[in-house]
Chains A and B, each alone.
Chain A
């Protein structure tokens, strides 16, 4: 956190000064470790084993917050008899279809719930419909669809055992599942000595409970794995057991790395989502709006109002064309058939299906996994538009990229047209960023951009204007294919020399308006009859009363510690999600020290420091009638209002593609076998589609050839640089602080491989060979894993061939093997070899990789097994 979010770390330092203990768990010793009370190095790729070990400790030592767990989680819920655990099936769950590599989640259900066609992972149940290609839905990323709430669980009343002793109640299943995760196992898998691990368990549990809370903080070190979602799930289970969710000082905090990466998920430039986490529709025969809504919405909680959210979005986009008669233009939405993530797009480019590509402030030649494949795919395009500040590597690969140097590509032979369009900076446009706490903050235009530099708002608006003009002329205007474009509401006011669109007008559309054009103030006002328009329902209220709420800047020192009048946080300006859990079932704070919101009997409403994330006047004593639906079905003790059952899920009966509970699996490329089970890797990770000569995988564990890649590599950032370098490597003031690409190795590894401090090393995977300067440092510690010494190699991934400071790209080494829920690549843990000296030049570079592949016996089957 000190390393990548230094200004956020001020609050950690402040907490430390007041006595908080900081534990840092990371393969490398970073600037965070330097300030922590305890640094725990572990083997990259083993966090589920580590966190699972703490879950085991909490359960076996009875350190959980019983009252919280009993009332606010699904611990008491009893599972169906069909459920079988990894404990029973040697590492896989019930419902695995080994041929298609997908799970049937119906084996993970609550007992007593009837799973309707419209339940499960929402659209997943389309499987049951004849004639539909259900696998397409399963393959698509569905995890993000739960960005503001969980999946449905069907109808009925689940059976509960309030004593938590029923063998099939979630609590007992959890105990059984994590029984293996002993300190001894953690030591064997993670390389963390049992006594150090025990200290972490004690520190965390001593600081959790009624009077105290602990927070977990993570970044992409947890997400960029073939089991990334389950990493975060393990943390959720742990924090829920300890009662650390929805309370001040608690939570699981994702520290995101780009100014509006949260916003670009909420208002998604993502293939599988529409604004506000409404899923993009999949292709089904004769599907209309109603059947989409039926399939996607849940019975209880706020997601039950999905029709209102969807219709309002369609009204925002297609305005007058969107009427009840036209089914609100639902047919205008393109349909998915499986996953169309950025990595499938690379395949589509290599195949020649995808001919044009916009890069809008992104540098995949350096920042995406398997950089070579990224560049080779771009070389197969008809045209490429790069919008950025400088000539990043993704703009110049045709001229001076690594494949030109190696002779694989010849500039003259590359047919791709490339447009470089200079981008406006944040000071040259106005708009909102959504920070990592879901808070929208407006930045105002300071100056107009110079020359041809323009905002994306300008580019998109004027591109759309031109396309609409061109399509609207002549016979094309009547073409049904063009109706969605021509009917689009696209009339934003512009101003200034450059005719910049009015960003506040766009924000007003995102916020939404009623039939009279009056700005809405809350998503509870949204209607499903077409009388409201709203571009993103969770952002409804950000322009309440016609006031740009994101631009509010009442100084922090003039407000409470919650600072509700600075910016605007979705939903409804709540700062801590699920804060009903900060009070006990009766509505009283668990302790005065940790008070956040509470029930005020006199006024009959919830009140407190934050805006209650609950039905404002719902008494703690309220219990819904059996036939209640939607918001009415939320009981007075259901803090998790976006969940279908109002409870935090220790066990996820739906919503995940790779299991209801986290299980440690080895990374795609690992020098170790899985000590827990016979199942080596996540059986449903997304990998077979990426079988490609540029994406060879490595033998793992006991497989022959695994020893060719004996070390574990992890990639990361440095304070002085930013992601793929477009905003740092081109600046002298940042480049001089970290002026060269390097690898970090321990003195022991340096001795073992003859690496010299400040000398060169070549790092090799089955994909590529790269070179880096060597930093020999005690900050990287050898670990003892499964009885042998493991060395890890640290690689910052910022570098490429352009800018003030240049170097090879760490991502050339990484493979396409993805988490099946969210399609994120595994770049935080993989096996490699390292050798002294610079890498070969020209064709010899590829030859070296081929030699490694031959030595390890790598074929197109390697690493592809279940």
Chain B
């Protein structure tokens, strides 16, 4: 049995190219259209009216009620003459000032720990290689929440169930793009087959490097990283930590595959009784 990764490997009946997001933060204007479009499409509730003082970021981070989150980073760095023309603007006393913006989202990991630990089958790998939590199955056990190396998936307080970005699974099924990518005014959020996006991202990175933006780097694009690469990856203009992203995320269930194999066999033996119990507890309250 192969490792149950993304793409078509997890037993998909129909072979589909793996779909994903490439979020190019170098063209993000921080408008938050992605946040609102996501909420409108997915009926995600308002997430609290809190002035955080974290620049223009008042959604704080990804959570049960925020599936796209735009981070704003006001930053002063040593002046670099090479950027005077081509890089972000704002040279002044004490170095270059810049305002970084980045729209974060569930990474739809190749090795998704949330999926690994879900005991109910609420989380599953879709035919598009994305990771989706099913609201009619989730029983609110919360195992997935500490499992996520990015702190993405979250429990909704008044509901108990776990929620996160589905990459608009319902839309993908009809050949539509996710709501956030559709709204994005500057194509900072790009959606499509992951292979194509990785290629495009490499090209964009090369262009930026050539233009002297030497700090530009890709994040989550490497299939060799601790989560096997992300289905939603980024072009960043600084270290991941600056954006609140873990520098070296590792799937928290690295040792689980062997455990799973035993569990699968056990599950088969337990058969009907257990399955029925899960189904019952997963019903919407």
Contact = CB atoms under 8 A, between A and B. Distances in A.
A and B touch in the complex (CB under 8 A): yes
A81 interface: no
A619 interface: no
Given A37-B85, A779-B99, A736 B47 contact: yes
Contacts of A736: 46-49, 58-59
Interface in A30-53: 31-39
A44 B35 CA distance: 32
Interface stretch (A86-94, A229-237, A738-746): A738-746
B51 A742 contact: yes
A87 B59 CA distance: 54
A36 B50 CA distance: 30
Contacts of A33: 89-90, 99
Contact of B185 (A9, A36, A777): A9
Chain B: interface residue count, which band?
35 or more
A718 B31 CA distance: 9
Contact of B89 (A34, A740, A758): A34
Contacts of A24: 89
A739 B185 contact: no
B196 interface: no
Contacts of A37: 85-86, 89
A6 interface: yes
A773 B89 contact: no
A35 B76 CA distance: 16
A34 B51 contact: no
Interface in A737-765: 737-740, 742, 757-758
A737 B30 CA distance: 11
A556 interface: no
A738 B85 CA distance: 32
With a 10 A CB-CB cut-off, give which of A24, A720, A733 has the most chain B CB atoms: A733
Interface string B93-114: 0000111110000000000000
Contact of A36 (B51, B74, B76, B89): B89
B12 to A, nearest CB: 33
B49 A735 contact: yes
A777 B49 contact: no
A732 B89 contact: no
A35 B27 contact: yes
Contacts of B47: 736
Contacts of A719: 30-32
Given A2-B29, A719-B31, A34 B101 contact: yes
Contacts of B46: 732-733, 735-736
A35 B187 CA distance: 14
Interface in A579-624: none
A31 B99 contact: yes
Interface in A761-818: 773, 775, 777-779, 781, 804-805
Contacts of B100: 34
Interface in A500-522: none
B60 to A, nearest CB: 10
A34 B58 contact: no
B56 A6 contact: no
A481 interface: no
A734 interface: yes
Given A34-B98, A39-B90, A736-B58, A775 B53 contact: yes
B92 interface: yes
With a 10 A CB-CB cut-off, give which of A9, A37, A737, A777 has the most chain B CB atoms: A737
A779 B49 contact: no
Contacts of B89: 24, 33-39
A559 interface: no
A33 B100 CA distance: 11
Given A31-B30, A719-B30, A778-B76, A738 B88 contact: no
A21 B40 CA distance: 35
Contacts of B29: 2, 6, 9, 13, 31-32, 34-35
With a 10 A CB-CB cut-off, give which of B30, B85, B86, B98 has the most chain A CB atoms: B30
A737 B74 contact: no
Nearest to A203: B85
B36 interface: yes
With a 10 A CB-CB cut-off, give which of B27, B35, B39, B185 has the most chain A CB atoms: B185
A42 B95 CA distance: 19
A10 B101 CA distance: 16
Nearest to B32: A737
A644 to B, nearest CB: 41
A32 B39 CA distance: 25
B167 interface: no
Interface in B5-56: 27, 29-33, 35-36, 39-40, 46-51, 53, 55-56
A7 interface: yes
A357 interface: no
Nearest to B66: A736
Name the prevailing secondary structure of the A interface residues: loop
Given A6-B185, A34-B99, A757-B53, A733 B31 contact: no
A733 B39 contact: yes
Interface string A711-738: 0000000111000000000001111111
A218 interface: no
A738 B56 contact: yes
B53 A13 contact: no
Interface in A476-508: none
B186 interface: yes
B269 to A, nearest CB: 48
B92 A781 contact: yes
A13 B186 contact: yes
Contacts of A735: 46, 49
A65 interface: no
A603 B63 CA distance: 66
Contacts of B74: 777-779
Given A39-B89, A739-B50, A777 B55 contact: yes
A111 B88 CA distance: 51
A389 interface: no
A6 B97 contact: no
A197 to B, nearest CB: 14
Contacts of A13: 27, 29, 186-187
Nearest to B47: A736
A29 interface: yes
A774 to B, nearest CB: 9
B182 to A, nearest CB: 12
A39 B96 CA distance: 11
A7 B30 contact: no
A734 B86 CA distance: 33
A35 B86 CA distance: 10
Interface string B209-240: 00000000000000000000000000000000
Contacts of B39: 733
B187 A10 contact: yes
B49 A804 contact: yes
A6 B28 CA distance: 10
A718 B58 CA distance: 13
A720 to B, nearest CB: 6
Nearest to A5: B185
With a 10 A CB-CB cut-off, give which of B27, B47, B56 has the most chain A CB atoms: B56
Contacts of A734: 36
A742 B54 CA distance: 13
A524 B186 CA distance: 41
Given A6-B31, A9-B186, A739-B50, 16 more contacts: A13-B27, A32-B29, A33-B89, A34-B89, A34-B101, A35-B27, A37-B89, A38-B89, A733-B35, A733-B46, A736-B49, A740-B51, A778-B76, A778-B97, A779-B99, A805-B49
Interface of A: 2, 6-7, 9-10, 13, 21, 24, 29, 31-39, 718-720, 732-740, 742, 757-758, 773, 775, 777-779, 781, 804-805
19 contacts: A9-B185, A10-B185, A13-B187, A21-B85, A29-B97, A29-B99, A31-B29, A31-B99, A32-B29, A34-B89, A35-B89, A720-B32, A733-B36, A736-B49, A737-B36, A738-B56, A739-B58, A775-B53, A804-B49
Top-3 shortest CB links A-B: A732-B46, A739-B49, A34-B99
